[in-house]
Amino acid sequence: MTAAMTTSSFPFGPVSAVRGRAVVIAGDDIDTDRIIPARFLKCVTFDGLGEQVFADDRAELSGEHPFDRAELQGASVLVVNRNFGCGSSREHAPQALMRWGIRALVGESFAEIFYGNCLALGIPCFTASHASVLSLQEALIADNYQELSLSLATASLENSQGQLWQLELQSGPQQMLASGQWDATSQLLANDGELARTAASLPYINGF
């Protein structure tokens, strides 16, 4: 398996655009066990996961998997179909994709926990209609996976031919990414007084 680790830094600060080649993984209901099989969860850091992403699917296709194709190395956008990332809550799945190089996803729909995990890493998940995703996937293949660019502000994607796709990005995640506040910890810590009041109002915290 060729290790295709990008050396570029992980998302940090405001995220306003993602540029790069896009890789297509077709199919509905691609679960997190396929993105990163459970045996690779035996780790106490996420460091090695980029090499293990889609391990079983890649082994099955012996070199023909999109993540192994030479021309797609260094790609930063992943285009998928419906309910991508369903199954387990393992953050190892978006971590593995991120460590391989993915910085944004486009698909018809995403499983909720997966979506939230991506956001917590600074990776936007754009959605689009069934027809739009199919047309995008076809165009990417026809265009031989040339560079494209995604704008968070307009939730749009433009390919090297100047073709434009209107996507959707929920306004909450859009704002969080644009402001660089997609990492929730500091926001949550800012409201400690309110948190203590909420806790104090709950019967089960106070022995009823």
Partner 1 sequence: MSAGTLYDKVWDLHRVAQLPGGSTQLFIGLHLIHEVTSPQAFAALKDLGLPVRLPERTVATVDHIVPTTSQARPFADPLAEEMLATLERNCSDYGIPLHGLGSGRQGIVHVIAPELGLTQPGMTVACGDSHTSTHGAFGAIAFGIGTSQVRDVLASQSLSMGKLKVRRIWVGGQLQPGVYAKDLVLHIIRVLGVKGGVGYAYEFAGPAIDALTMEERMTLCNMAIEGGARCGYVNPDAVTFAYLQGRPYAPKAQAWERAVAWWRGLASGADAVFDDEVRFDAAAIAPTVTWGITPGQGIGVDETVPTLEQTEPDERPLAQEAYRYMDLQPGTPIAGTAVDVCFIGSCTNGRLSDLQAAAAVAKGRHVAPGIKAFVVPGSEQVAAAAEAEGLDQVFREAGFEWREPGCSMCLAMNPDRLEGRQISASSSNRNFKGRQGSATGRTLLMSPAMVAAAAIAGKVCDVRQMINTTP
Binding interface with partner 1 (CB under 8 A): 27-29, 31, 33-34, 37-39, 41-46, 56, 59-60, 82-83, 86-92, 94-95, 109, 111-113, 116-117, 120-121, 171-173, 175-176, 179, 181-185, 187-189, 191-192, 194-195, 198-199, 201-205, 207-208
CB of 57 vs partner 1, minimal distance in Å: 8
56 vs 168, which CB is nearer to partner 1? Answer: 56
Place of tokens 């655009």: 17
> 95-111 burial by CB neighbour count: b if 16+ within 10 A, else e?
bbbbbbbbbbbbbbbbb
Instruction: Compare residues 108 and 159 and give the one whose CB is closer to partner 1.
Output: 108
The minimum distance between CB 56 and partner 1, in angstroms, equals: 4
Q: Which is nearer to partner 1, 22 or 123 (CB)?
A: 123
**What is the spatial distance between Cα 108 and Cα 129, in angstroms, rounded to a whole number?**
6
The CB-of-84 to partner 1 minimum distance in angstroms stands at 11
Contacts of 13 (CB under 8 A, 6+ apart): 180
Given the structure tokens 């209107």, which residue do they identify? 166
Is the distance from CB of 32 to CB of 80 less than 8 angstroms?
no
Tell me the closest approach of the beta carbon of residue 163 to partner 1, in angstroms: 25
Task: Considering the complex, state which of residue 76 and residue 117 has its C-beta at the smaller distance from partner 1.
Answer: 117
Estimate the crossing angle of helix 171-179 against helix 112-120, to 10 degrees: 20
